[in-house]
Amino acid sequence: MKINFYILKNDILIIEMKLFLAYCTLFFLIFILNDNAYSLCVKTSDANLRSGPGTQYKKTWEVFKYMPLKKIGSKGNWYKVKDVDGDTHWVYRTLVTDKYRCAVVKIKKANVRNGPGTKYKKNILSPALKFYSFKVIGKKQSWVKVMDEYEDKGWIHRNLLWIQ
């Protein structure tokens, strides 16, 4: 009888060790490997995106405040990023932040409204053209409250934006 109890106790210990290793692996995959891919926002009035990690590389796009970018790598003080269209660029690290979320219009033009719904009137920002960028300042169901670099605010339907 004591032998069976010992085997059962040993089996439980093995199962607990396997669960611990599984949790450690999951933690590693989520927090360590994913550390390289996260959201960034342009925090300056404008920023040059480049084809490589340095000012000697060709400028690929000039973007403005609140343009969202997805960090996919880094080299020194430069971040490799993807934009709303999936194109890859490099940006200098001091031009971006991860302290807030940003959004950009991903379609030809989007209505910007005074409230979260089509029953609200279009506001001064409407229509916002493709690539117009915003800081995300709120959400209500499928609507996103945004603010542009001039501090004008409005609501845009979530499906019309690329948010990072």
CATH number for the domain formed by residue range(s) 37-97: 2.30.30.40
The CATH superfamily holding the domain 102-163 is: SH3 Domains (2.30.30.40)
Residue 131: what pLDDT?
A: 98
Reported as a pLDDT band with limits 50, 70 and 90, residue 37 is low
Q: State residue 29's pLDDT score.
A: 42
As given in the structure block, the two tokens for residue 65 are: 């405040």
3-state DSSP assignment of residue 105:
strand
Q: How far is CA 21 from CA 7, 11, 24, 73, in A?
A: 21, 15, 5, 28
Q: Which amino acid is at 154?
A: G
Flag whether pLDDT at 28 surpasses 50.
no
Q: What pLDDT digit, counting tens, does each position of 48-90 carry?
A: 999 999 999 999 999 999 999 999 999 999 999 999 999 999 9
Place 38 in a pLDDT band, splitting at 50, 70 and 90: confident
pLDDT at 3 over 60: no
Mean pLDDT score across all residues of the chain: 87
Query: Residue 117: is its pLDDT beyond 70?
Result: yes
Task: With a cut of 80, say whether residue 127 has pLDDT above it.
Answer: yes
Mean pLDDT to the nearest integer, 96-120: 98
Band (30; pLDDT cuts 50, 70, 90)? very low
Compute the average pLDDT of residues 118-134.
97
Looking at residue 113, the DSSP 8-state letter turns out to be B
Average pLDDT estimate for 146-154? 97
> Is residue 131 a contact partner of residue 115, using CB atoms and an 8 Å limit?
no
